[in-house]
Structure 1
Amino acid sequence: MEALDPVRRYVRIGEQPSTWGYSRRRLYAHDALFRENSDVYEVLHEFDFVYTEDKRLFFFLAIFGEEYGIDMSDPDAASCFDFLEKQNGGSPLYPSTG
């Protein structure tokens, strides 16, 4: 996929830009416990790729409740923040709630 060439060059050979922007926000407390029926559990990590109608590929990762998002084809984090704004505050990791 040609749109991923910038991230490939960044990872493989360190081609500019020197940084790759990302979004970061807290989804839930790092020690939160969740309940489902009679089960109690904690979520250590979760992740998903999101491919949008405008052909952008985002990767979202949550570690201990801290969500990180990155646009795989653009080092500017603005596109990631724009996408999240369109989700009305919901996380792409939980599409039915966004």
Structure 2
Amino acid sequence: MNTTPTPMRWWRRLRTMIALAAVGALAVTLAPPTVASAAALQTADGLSAATAAGSCWEVKQQDGDAPSGIYWLVTPALVAPEQFWCDQETDGGGW
């Protein structure tokens, strides 16, 4: 008995595999956010290393009433978040 699939069966299998891959990719894309990704969606308020902002200006944009003080910031040049003094009063803040 010949177990080699005919060209028609081969194309059907390929088409089925492609359809399943597309459905899987769509399911992953439309899946609700997980706890880990929800943590990534936290606002960058600069109040902790986990929520470090990109700049003092970003802190001020997140909270217009943010007082001057020490905030956690992280930039592409930094390896990890660090604490910086932010002036949130002079000329509208964000310095």
- Larger proportion of strand: 1
- Larger proportion of helix: 2
- Answer with 1 or 2: which has the greater Rg: 2
* Shorter-chain TM-score range: under 0.3
TM-score w.r.t. length of structure 2: 0.22
